[in-house]
Chain A
Amino acid sequence: MWKVCRYTLLDLLRNRSAVGYTVLLLLITTGLFMLEADNTKALITLSQVVLAITPLLTLVFTIIWFYGQYEFTVLLAVQPLRRSAITQAQYVAVTGALLLAFWLGVGLPLLAWAPGATSLTLLAAGSLLTTICCALGLWIAVCQRDRAKAVGIGLAVWVLLVLVWDALLLWLMYSFSDRPIEPLIVPLAALNPIDLARMMVMFRIDLAALLGYTGAVYQDFFGSPGGTLAALSALLAWTLLPLWRAVRGFQRKDL
């Protein structure tokens, strides 16, 4: 696996889109800190931007990259390699390249302007979302033969996670406001990795109070050691399940 991974990573590190992604993140992060005198406000805005943009660009990049590499992937599949090793190597390489872009683009300015636990949490949340969205993107690309359809599915997944899911939760809370719905909301929120990552950052900035009673419920649960463990397990599952499906899908696929 590492033989394929090493050279794929080398290729990706020189990839213009990956470099462009790094520069974009660097410009956004630097721009926010330069425009906003209060670093906490800049961090809040940055977390909203990063937690929305990172999943989108990671999903789209992974899907497009997979199709761009398809002919070479076929050539790799003719070598004495297990198909599972090829998929795993490609996943590690793409995730590695995008994580490096994220750390350089967001991590370096954070280190310069707002070093501390909150910045570390934001970096951890963005990193986890990168690993999750790479796995999701790879799964979509492996299962879908048509590139345009795959990108469309990727965009639909992003819209679902960023907008539709929250709207559904709000509708549920509004519709059943006279009933004790909180025990249901917590696991439902955990089903969305972007919400989970957002909560990790919000609790660190201590903004949960702004979320009212629901925020208190979330903080009670996710603030506890058991809750933290549950959140991390959910995020790990969000990485491993799509990756497992991508590996299985590629093993069975007719190339």
Chain B
Amino acid sequence: MDRIVFSGLGKRYGRQWVLRGVSTAFAAGEVVMVAGPNGSGKTTWIKCLLGLVHATEGTIAVNGRCVGRDPMYRAGIGYMPQYAEFPRELTVDQLLRMMNDIREAPAGGTDDRLIGELGVDALAHKRIGALSGGMRQKVSAVLAFRYRPEVLVLDEPTAGLDPVSATTLLAAVQRAARAGSTVLITSHIMEEVQRLGDRLAYLQDGRLRFALPPDTIIGATGEPALALALPTFLAQQAEQHVEGL
């Protein structure tokens, strides 16, 4: 069974459709890289899934449950925003306890591996206001992975992280996918997309152009890497579209 199903999803702000007719499904254990030009609707799509933006039309189902007013479906979601902000006067330890309380996590029911791997344990008693942007990103990553989510949504997760921490984080993504999590990652870094993604979901002008494995895109163009293959593939698609008319 598909873990996430989008059916005719659309979002309009005023008269402007920023997302239209998005229909696709993602399975358990799948890593989906979401890419597209600026303003293509990536953030709105992700936010619809998270329940932050109310869809104008269409539906989203997570594990067969329709995303609507009932917030409990979000118990199975982990989210790492691009820029993490937390209450500045709390310590990291207090923030982790706050999230534990909200999630009602039983003792020992959390995945704390990333805490040690990213060195967040050393920050436990520091005020969040005293942390650098990169340190806050590490805390944010820990929170996203900690509750063993069925759906993991990461918005530009390696932006602001040092190279070692970025590698650690991407390894955690692969681990989570092997454990059955469906992972959605927005990224402009094509090396990451090629290395991690089972599929690349490409949005343009608010429409989902394709959701294909990176190897299929590379194979269709004959280019050696996805970074080179993607522009060629998009040009091929545009030509086919014109011929179809």
Q: Which residues of A contact B (CB under 8 A)?
A: 3-4, 7-8, 10-15, 69-72, 74-83, 252, 254-255
A-B contacts, 18 listed (Cβ < 8 Å): A3-B98, A3-B101, A4-B98, A7-B87, A7-B95, A15-B89, A76-B102, A78-B51, A78-B52, A78-B74, A78-B77, A78-B79, A80-B72, A80-B103, A81-B102, A252-B54, A254-B52, A255-B52
Whether B194 is near chain A, meaning CB under 8 Å from some CB there, is no
Nearest neighbor of B72 in chain A, beta-carbon distance: A80
Nearest neighbor of A70 in chain B, beta-carbon distance: B85
Segment 208-229 of B: residues with Cβ below 8 Å from A: none
A78-B77, A80-B75 known; A71-B52 Cβ under 8 A:
no
A78-B77, A254-B52, A255-B47 known; A72-B102 Cβ under 8 A:
no
Whether B94 is near chain A, meaning CB under 8 Å from some CB there, is yes
4 shortest A-B CB distances, which residue pairs? A71-B85, A11-B87, A14-B89, A80-B75
**CB pair B81 A71 closer than 8 Å:** yes
Chain B residues whose C-beta falls within 8 Å of the C-beta of A252 in the assembled complex: 54
Q: Which residues of B contact A (CB under 8 A)?
A: 13, 47, 50-54, 71-75, 77, 79, 81, 83-90, 94-95, 97-99, 101-103, 143
CA distance A78 to B155 in the complex (A): 13
Chain B residues whose C-beta falls within 8 Å of the C-beta of A4 in the assembled complex: 98, 102
Q: Contact partner of A11 among B84, B85, B90, CB < 8 A? A: B90
Chain B residues whose C-beta falls within 8 Å of the C-beta of A74 in the assembled complex: 52, 81
CA distance A75 to B50 in the complex (A): 10
**CB pair B102 A79 closer than 8 Å:** yes
Q: Contact partner of A80 among B74, B89, B90, B95, CB < 8 A? A: B74
- Identify which of A10, A69, A254 gathers the most chain B CB atoms within 10 Å of its CB: A254
Chain A residues whose C-beta falls within 8 Å of the C-beta of B95 in the assembled complex: 7
Main secondary structure of the interface of A (DSSP, over half): helix
Q: Contact partner of B90 among A10, A76, A78, CB < 8 A? A: A10
**CB pair B98 A75 closer than 8 Å:** no
CA distance A7 to B47 in the complex (A): 25
**CB pair A71 B89 closer than 8 Å:** no
**CB pair A254 B53 closer than 8 Å:** yes
**CB pair B52 A11 closer than 8 Å:** no
**CB pair A80 B94 closer than 8 Å:** no
CA distance A3 to B87 in the complex (A): 14
**CB pair B102 A71 closer than 8 Å:** no
Chain A residues whose C-beta falls within 8 Å of the C-beta of B54 in the assembled complex: 252, 254
CA distance A69 to B77 in the complex (A): 21
Nearest neighbor of A18 in chain B, beta-carbon distance: B89
Q: Contact partner of B81 among A12, A75, A81, A254, CB < 8 A? A: A75
Q: Contact partner of A71 among B47, B83, B99, B103, CB < 8 A? A: B83
CA distance A252 to B81 in the complex (A): 21
Q: Contact partner of B87 among A72, A78, A254, CB < 8 A? A: A72
CA distance A70 to B79 in the complex (A): 16
CA distance A80 to B171 in the complex (A): 27
Nearest neighbor of B74 in chain A, beta-carbon distance: A80
Q: Contact partner of A78 among B50, B83, B86, B101, CB < 8 A? A: B50
Chain A residues whose C-beta falls within 8 Å of the C-beta of B89 in the assembled complex: 10-15
CA distance A14 to B130 in the complex (A): 14
Chain A residues whose C-beta falls within 8 Å of the C-beta of B99 in the assembled complex: 79
Chain A residues whose C-beta falls within 8 Å of the C-beta of B143 in the assembled complex: 75
A254-B53, A255-B52, A255-B53 known; A75-B79 Cβ under 8 A:
yes
CA distance A14 to B11 in the complex (A): 40
**CB pair B52 A77 closer than 8 Å:** yes
CA distance A79 to B100 in the complex (A): 11
**CB pair B52 A7 closer than 8 Å:** no
A81-B102, A255-B52 known; A11-B88 Cβ under 8 A:
yes
CA distance A15 to B90 in the complex (A): 10
CA distance A69 to B99 in the complex (A): 16
Chain B residues whose C-beta falls within 8 Å of the C-beta of A10 in the assembled complex: 89-90, 94
**CB pair B98 A77 closer than 8 Å:** no
How many Å from the CB of A22 to the closest CB on chain B?
15
How many Å from the CB of B183 to the closest CB on chain A?
15
**CB pair A80 B71 closer than 8 Å:** yes
Nearest neighbor of B50 in chain A, beta-carbon distance: A78
CA distance A10 to B98 in the complex (A): 11
CA distance A109 to B74 in the complex (A): 48
| Inter-chain pairs besides A81-B74, A82-B71, 9 sampled, C-beta below 8 Å | A13-B89, A75-B85, A76-B102, A78-B52, A78-B79, A79-B74, A79-B102, A81-B102, A255-B52
